[in-house]
Homo-oligomer: A and B are copies of this chain.
Amino acid sequence: MEKTLNVQGMTCGHCESAVKGALGDLDGVKDVQVSLDSGKVDVTYEEGKVTDEQMKEAVEDQGYDVK
């Protein structure tokens, strides 16, 4: 399964790493691709292992808003 999060406030490579790392640490997340320009974060995950809410919280915990 794949879903796209729209993340606001990522400005640099450090931000990209922070978001990528936080999502990648979630159980069930297999791949994370971040586009800084668009703010789009594509997450590939195993259905049933991780919820939308967990992904959203992981990003928000790093200080970014999810639209």
Contacts and interface: CB of A to CB of B under 8 A. Distances in A.
A18 B63 CA distance: 17
A65 to B, nearest CB: 14
Interface residues of A, number: 7
A12 interface: yes
A20 to B, nearest CB: 13
Interface of A: 11-15, 18, 63
Leading 5 A-B pairs by shortest Cβ distance: A14-B14, A11-B11, A11-B12, A12-B12, A12-B15
Given A11-B11, A11-B12, A14-B14, 6 more contacts: A12-B12, A12-B14, A12-B15, A13-B63, A14-B15, A14-B18
